[in-house]
Amino acid sequence: MRMWAQSHLWQKPQRLNSVLAVAFALTILILGASTSANALPAFARKYGLRCSACHESWPALNNFGLKFRDNGYQLMNDRDAPIWQNPGYWPVTFRITPIWHRVSRLNQVDTYDSTTGAITGSTAQRINSTGFDLSGLDFHTGGTLEKNISFYVLPSSDSTGAFHFESVNARIDNIGGSPWLNIRLGRFELNNLLSEKRTLWLTANGGIYQTYHFSPVGDGNIAGQMGANQFGMEYMGHSVDDRTRISAALLSSNSGNVGLIMGANSYSGFFTFDQAFDAGKLGTERVGAYAFVGEAATYYLTDSSGGAGAVPIPGSGIGNKGFSRVGFYGQFYLGPHFDLNVVTQHGSDNAWFGQGYGDAIATDGDGGATATCSSPVNGPGCPPNNTPGTTLPVGSQAPTWNGYTFEARYVYSPQLIFKAVYEAERMSQQATPGTPSNLGNINNYSIGYRYNPYMTSRSGFAYFGEFNLFHQDLTGPINSAGNPTNVNTSELLFGIDFDF
């Protein structure tokens, strides 16, 4: 998943060449994955409602859309069961986003001798590239199997054409006739009030919420990314009008990868509560809190029989260590046109994660394991493994940080929305004493718009444009003086987002 990519990107400054070499590919992957939002004309067709009924601006949900989702994709109007649909109705939506974009980023670039052509070294150099592009293709399918029994399946391809299952889950709602008892099983998006899967953003760094994926530089915990779709079981309850919502999910600590490739018995929990209240002419305000706590493996058995070194064995992870992400949500409407979404986070990883333990099993991000480390574990270029007898470096401590996301939206009309987001991630304690206190800090800015030239219940279509600035301290290429630079990446993107 892109979250894995994001975290690992900042974990290995000592391998900047290789990291930056795949940065562009990851950018494309991220872009592809970030289009996996859940906006379904299939639902609109079923109920005869315009997209705008459920989406503040497609694909971001409004309160009515949130209630629809919380009811298991049902309006609760006695027309929810499939038997009410024309037999020819098939709940499938295709979504694709052709774009043009300009990316400006700093790379580690080889330098050459002008006469011999031999490589003489390397330096940091900015590369600007433009071009037409294509994000992934999503096949959204979801709806009711019977009243109060629903499903959601999202096979999604990235820009290379590789498919993975972004979401696969079934849910049973209103058990015993109570909206307070709903169960979901499978791979699903966590109950984040500010949904990343329904984000209005499509740039590589703006299309994900940094707060949902932040990981300290060198940190080996891949399980703590709340923006990633996760495998597990979720209990969810809400009031009839959806003003009060609670959820608790038991998850495998594998960052949503299939096949039990990570820890043998590693679980985490994600808990949320939020409450909305009327504020007169201002609108409906909502505040809430979340906690993502759990454990993930730091030790893997290895197999060297293949001659490729001590390759970690998928599924053998033990030596669980803890992590936590806690914070607040806020969704504040300031009249009918303007709203501000706020997410805060205080994150903490065990000191073992802080020293890079935990990610010995490389994942391809699409639900599979890829053993890419050909050297013995703990060897050069390979992530460390918490084998018996291993001790942490003296002074190692649990890395902690704080994150803030502010997303503002100005809804000029149901067809035109302007948007802006600012994110700040700040390390409060580095894992290794003496590390620069700002190493890995992030500032992320995006502005943009989406314009829907028409609104019907048959398809979604939007012109959109975005500009993103991404900055991270001390994780860029090594400059000519031998010092790490800051990452400064910008992306300008225009395109057409449509589904049908």
Partner 1 sequence: MNSLKPMRFISAGLFTAIPCTAILGLFLAIGSTPRAFAQEAPDVGPKPPVVVKPRESHIGNITGHSADGKSDYRRYCAGCHGDYGDSNGENAIWLDPKPRDFTIATFKCRSTLTGTLPTDEDLFNTIGRGLTNSNMPVWNTFTKQQKADLVAYIKIFSPRWEHEKAGTPITIPAEPAVTIDSISHGKALFTKLECWKCHGTHGEGDGPSASTLTDSKDNPIRPYNFALGKNDSRFKCGSTNQDIYKIFMTGVDGTPMPSFADVIQPNDAWDLVHFLRTLQVNRHSKENEVLSAAHGVIPPYVDKTPAPAAAPADSKSPGGGQ
What is the contact surface with partner 1 in residues (CB under 8 A)? 47-50, 52-53, 62-64, 66-67, 75-79, 100, 102, 104, 177, 240-242, 278-281, 283-284, 336, 413-415, 436-438, 441, 443, 451, 453-457, 463, 465, 467, 469, 471, 473-474, 486, 488, 490, 492, 494, 496
- Who contacts 499 (Cβ-Cβ below 8 Å, separation ≥6)? 39, 40, 41, 93, 94, 95, 96, 138, 140, 459, 460
Q: Which of 59/317 has CB closer to partner 1?
A: 59
Q: Which of 390/402 has CB closer to partner 1?
A: 402
Question: Do residues 355 and 395 touch, judged by C-beta distance below 8 A?
Answer: no
Least Cβ distance, residue 230 to partner 1 (angstroms): 27
Q: Which of 242/407 has CB closer to partner 1?
A: 242
What CA–CA distance (Å, rounded) separates 361 from 222? 10
Q: Which of 174/396 has CB closer to partner 1?
A: 174
DSSP secondary structure, 44-99, as one string: HHHHT--HHHHEEETTEE-HHHHHHHHTTS--SSS--SGGGS-TT---EEEEEEEE
What CA–CA distance (Å, rounded) separates 75 from 55? 14
Give me the torsion for CA of 139, 140, 145, 149, rounded to 10°.
Answer: 140
What CA–CA distance (Å, rounded) separates 101 from 163? 23
Look at residues 181, 184, 212, 185 and name the one whose alpha carbon lies nearest to residue 196: 212
- Who contacts 113 (Cβ-Cβ below 8 Å, separation ≥6)? 119, 120
Q: Which of 390/456 has CB closer to partner 1?
A: 456
Least Cβ distance, residue 168 to partner 1 (angstroms): 28
Question: Do residues 460 and 497 touch, judged by C-beta distance below 8 A?
Answer: yes
Least Cβ distance, residue 275 to partner 1 (angstroms): 14
Other C-beta atoms lying within 10 Å of the C-beta of residue 453:
9
- In total, the chain counts a number of residues equal to 500
Identify the helix (H) or strand (E) that includes residue 211.
helix 210-213
Least Cβ distance, residue 103 to partner 1 (angstroms): 10
Q: Which of 198/325 has CB closer to partner 1?
A: 198
Which pair of tokens denotes residue 157? 């391809």
- Print the SS3 string covering 376-400: CCCCCCCCCCCCCCCCCCCCCCCCE
Q: Is 444 helix (H, G, I), strand (E, B) or coil?
A: strand
DSSP secondary structure, 17-47, as one string: HHHHHTHHHHHHHHHHHHT-----HHHHHHH
Least Cβ distance, residue 406 to partner 1 (angstroms): 17
Question: Do residues 166 and 155 touch, judged by C-beta distance below 8 A?
Answer: yes
Least Cβ distance, residue 374 to partner 1 (angstroms): 35
Least Cβ distance, residue 97 to partner 1 (angstroms): 14
Least Cβ distance, residue 485 to partner 1 (angstroms): 9
Q: Which of 284/400 has CB closer to partner 1?
A: 284
Which pair of tokens denotes residue 446? 């995006």
Q: Which of 79/346 has CB closer to partner 1?
A: 79
Q: Which of 18/438 has CB closer to partner 1?
A: 438
- Who contacts 451 (Cβ-Cβ below 8 Å, separation ≥6)? 415, 416, 417, 462, 463, 464
Q: Which of 291/420 has CB closer to partner 1?
A: 420
Q: Which of 169/452 has CB closer to partner 1?
A: 452
Least Cβ distance, residue 281 to partner 1 (angstroms): 6
Least Cβ distance, residue 434 to partner 1 (angstroms): 15
Least Cβ distance, residue 170 to partner 1 (angstroms): 22
Least Cβ distance, residue 137 to partner 1 (angstroms): 22
Determine whether 260 is exposed, middle or buried from the number of CB atoms within 10 Å of its CB (0-12, 13-18, 19+): middle
Q: Which of 220/440 has CB closer to partner 1?
A: 440
